[in-house]
Chains A and B, each alone.
Chain A
Amino acid sequence: MAKTRHYDGNPQKNSPALGATLAYLGVNGLLALLHGSQGCSSFIRLQLSRHYKEPIPLNSTALLEDTVIFGGWEHLKKGIAVAADKYKPQIIGVMSTGLTETFGDDMASALTSLRSERPDLVDLPVVLASTPDYIGSMQEGYQLTVEALLTTLAEHPANTLDQSYAEQAPSIALLPGCHLTPGDVEELKEIVMEFGFKPITIPDLSISLDGHAELEAAPVVQGGTLLEDFQRLPKCSACLSFGLSMEKAGDFLKQMYEIPHLNFPSITGLTASDAFVLALAKISGKPIPEKLLRQRSRLLDTLADYHDQLGGQKIAIALEMDLLYSLASCLVEVGSELTVALAASQAGIHRLSLPIPIEVGDLETFEERAVHSNLIIANSNGRQAAGLLKIPHLRAGLPVFDRVGYPQKRWIGYEGTQQFLFDMLNSLG
């Protein structure tokens, strides 16, 4: 453990409820309702907004002092009812906070009670994700929320499969982790489509948080996975999940629909991309498309051209676990040396391995330990460390607010790996 202090200095963590918000933002017609005080939702909106440069629809149950005494159970019922009546969402996605988890609001019983009082709301799908602020980071909140989305919507009574529905192409379920940007998710879908699959992506940030100008004047999520997409999950020929944090969600689909599930802890780097592409070829029974072979060939040429610069780097990296592993393993593969690897939380720490130990730590620790590195990779909050150490800083993760275009970056697959290495080398100045 890197952390022997009793405080976090310049934390790299974001709250689990922020991760939950992010997962909900990839589902069309959903209204996210945070069960907590107004500050909880306000900070999340601000943080996500400065990263994505997008409006972030997020409602709250606006808890005040009285709820500390009486609990927030009634507020949650009221919040769901008001949000449903005022905004007419297709789905409501609730996430809890440290406040409500500490006084132990039973969200499920609040929903049951509300539905008995308001029979008209029985058919409105309501997803409940338990994301106390004091357990984990963004990645955990996102993971728990994707799992809650799948378990709730796969079994919801309104979710009956339309038997007349005919697939034009074999479907494949994709579960991207929160380490993938909207640009990455789009790339992921494109690669899968190269093999003739029709992807069902949950959640799909590539069509909700991709920063497009069209938007209806409604404060619910626009774009993202359709409610109907959840109905089509049983028809999928396989499920692919990305990032170790998505493994459990993929296993759920595997058991629920008896389809094969493959988890890819990383799809950045040559070896990782190869594994992904070979798996697609195997599942589809098709040869690897010429386009991808060409991209692979270009990546190989880049590796040859820049092997010397790639090999000479001492890189310190601090990110949420799945992204940390993806980028770090790619760098190791091309001969860079890792000096520090700090994850935001424990998730997956015993299962993912790098040449140096992965530890949990904040950016103050990072600053102390990255001294003899010549590049740091961290979110924008790493700027204080970079400034003090006078080391170049490649922005990655969340939030990235002081560099343009991060949400559109594609750092996965052959082409994305090449772009990542270009960005890394260019950041050295």
Chain B
Amino acid sequence: MFTNLTKLDLKDKKCMSDAGSPKLCMKALPGEGAERSCAYDGARVVLMPITDVAHLVHGPIACAGNSWDNRGARSSGSQLYRRGLTTDIMENDVIYGGEAKLKEAILEIAARHNPKAIFVYATCVSSLIGDDVDKICREAEAGLTIPVIAVNCPGFLGDKNIGNRIAGEVLFDRVIGTGVGSDEKIPLSINLIGEYNIAGDLWGVLPDLKNLGITLQTAITGDAKFDDLRSAHRASLNVLICSKSLTNLVRKMEIRYGIPFMEGSFYGIHDTSETLVNIAKALGDPDLVERTLVYVQKKEEETRKTIAEYKKLLENKQAILFTGGVKTWSMVSTLAELGINILAGGTQNSTPEDFQRMKELMDPSAQIIEDTSSAGFLKIIAEKKPDLIVAGGKTKYLAHKTRTPFLDINHGRKLPYAGYQGMVTFAESLTRTVLSPVWGLLKQEFPPKEGELDG
């Protein structure tokens, strides 16, 4: 019923013992306050940005009710993916089972919302009460003209990362390669894997791809249309963005469809250029390579010129970097581009490999954040007294209590930071944060000590 976890490319044992390394597939200690999330959340993050399908959560209200429409993944078309749909399992369903209700719900949603497909997410409670989500999806599908796809990923399976990978398996098994059209490869076309179009990140990269003559087949998944995903196997190259959480998917696509894959990142000037050049090389078109080399050089110069004034303002600032998602290592070079030193870095929810890469990129004197709980985070801020904190939104309001400038780089943000344009936006945002006059106001002693009033 569940995906066999041993098949999910969890080959990271080497770095497991490293202090601060995310404990992938390892048990979090009850009560320690690790503040990670669950496998269901991980699957949801990967699949929710498929915009023209319905996402139905078969669980009690805690799974969908607290979380629907809460991520910044944007769509250029259908808004259906933002609709919160859940069977809202109630006490009676727990007692009598929720299968009949689930089947009705699938049929009703198909009729009411006209989706391209329906993804049905199993949860802890639906799994415990023994609802066979796979079977119900098959049965419902038989009466419909659209695919009904079970995502068997209850939260108790593990951390978010496990869920990312299970979502990859689902896409591979049930979506990719199921289109009715041609299976022929599209020349100079790529898939971006692990790009969720947070705040429109993807749209910051598309103009560069277009200028170079590279076609984006689909992002897996960001602003993704179901039919484009079905034809994802027609791309000539898979580009794994920033994270290895979908490595299992690209490996399988390589074996079945002969699509090679490479890793890349669109955060920061250096990484963006390197990724574009590597894509060109991997696509094997000498003309494209030449074009790209010229293009990236021009873009780099332009971008560096634009951000020069920000760099002057930010140079030699001391930062703490703490990411909860996919930007573990690419943010290191992005900050370096602006002349910012990293005092300490840490991560949650990334893979140990990503963590390792971040560690290699950071200055050896930078400290690794070992205790990733709120307590550990506060302790390291108190010790290091950084000029700024770059982290996920989860720690934002905690950081504000320390009266330290903070920039949210995860899914809660409003502005796109990917690509060359994203680098400019990032530099602007960071400058606005670091140089905001409010931090001075926050640090003024009040009431002032005696004698200071006369000044």
Q: A-side interface residues toward B, CB under 8 Å?
A: 5-11, 13-18, 33, 36-47, 49-50, 52-55, 57, 59-65, 67-68, 75-76, 78-84, 86-87, 97-99, 102-103, 132-135, 137, 213-215, 217-219, 364, 381, 384
Q: Are A102 and B35 in contact (CB under 8 A)?
A: no
B109 interface residue, CB < 8 Å from A? yes
Known contacts A13-B65, A133-B125; is-contact A38 B155 (Cβ 8 Å): yes
Q: Smallest distance from the beta carbon of A402 to chain B beta carbons, Å? A: 11
Q: Are A13 and B61 in contact (CB under 8 A)?
A: yes
With a 10 A CB-CB cut-off, give which of B31, B35, B442 has the most chain A CB atoms: B31
Q: Are B31 and A59 in contact (CB under 8 A)?
A: yes
Q: Are B65 and A15 in contact (CB under 8 A)?
A: yes
Known contacts A6-B87, A6-B105, A102-B128; is-contact A62 B82 (Cβ 8 Å): no
A395 to B31: give the CA distance in the assembly, Å: 35
Q: Which 7 residue pairs spanning A and B have beta carbons closest together?
A: A39-B38, A82-B31, A79-B30, A15-B62, A133-B60, A79-B31, A7-B105
Given contacts A67-B156, A384-B79, 12 further A-B contacts (CB under 8 A): A7-B109, A8-B86, A8-B87, A13-B88, A55-B374, A78-B29, A82-B30, A86-B375, A102-B125, A102-B128, A102-B129, A219-B375
A43 to B394: give the CA distance in the assembly, Å: 10
Known contacts A5-B105, A10-B83, A55-B374; is-contact A102 B94 (Cβ 8 Å): yes
Contact string against A for B residues 170-202, beta-carbon threshold 8 Å, 1 for contact and 0 otherwise: 000000000000000000000000000000000
- Contact partner of B398 (CB less than 8 A), chosen from A9, A11, A55, is A55
The interface-forming segment of B6-14, B66-74, B228-236, B254-262 is B66-74
Q: Are A11 and B412 in contact (CB under 8 A)?
A: no
Q: Output the nearest chain A residue to B109 by Cβ-Cβ distance.
A: A7
Known contacts A98-B60, A98-B62; is-contact A62 B30 (Cβ 8 Å): yes
A317 to B243: give the CA distance in the assembly, Å: 44
Q: B-side interface residues toward A, CB under 8 Å?
A: 27-41, 56, 59-70, 79, 82-91, 93-94, 101-102, 104-105, 108-109, 112, 124-125, 127-129, 155-160, 373-375, 378-379, 381-382, 393-398, 400-403, 412, 442
Known contacts A6-B104, A39-B37; is-contact A11 B84 (Cβ 8 Å): yes
Q: Point out the residues of chain B lying under 8 angstroms from A75, CB to CB.
A: 30
Known contacts A38-B38, A55-B401, A86-B32; is-contact A11 B65 (Cβ 8 Å): yes
Q: Smallest distance from the beta carbon of B374 to chain A beta carbons, Å? A: 4
Q: Point out the residues of chain B lying under 8 angstroms from A36, CB to CB.
A: 62, 124
Q: Point out the residues of chain B lying under 8 angstroms from A137, CB to CB.
A: 61
Q: Are B373 and A219 in contact (CB under 8 A)?
A: yes
A87 to B382: give the CA distance in the assembly, Å: 17
Q: Are B128 and A38 in contact (CB under 8 A)?
A: no
Q: Smallest distance from the beta carbon of B397 to chain A beta carbons, Å? A: 5
A38 to B70: give the CA distance in the assembly, Å: 18
Q: Are B68 and A381 in contact (CB under 8 A)?
A: yes
Q: Are A47 and B85 in contact (CB under 8 A)?
A: no
Q: Output the nearest chain B residue to A383 by Cβ-Cβ distance.
A: B69
Q: Smallest distance from the beta carbon of B167 to chain A beta carbons, Å? A: 14
Q: Are A46 and B394 in contact (CB under 8 A)?
A: yes
With a 10 A CB-CB cut-off, give which of A49, A53, A134, A384 has the most chain B CB atoms: A134
- Contact partner of A132 (CB less than 8 A), chosen from B85, B91, B379, B442, is B91
Q: Are A57 and B374 in contact (CB under 8 A)?
A: yes
Known contacts A37-B38, A38-B36, A133-B61; is-contact A46 B67 (Cβ 8 Å): yes
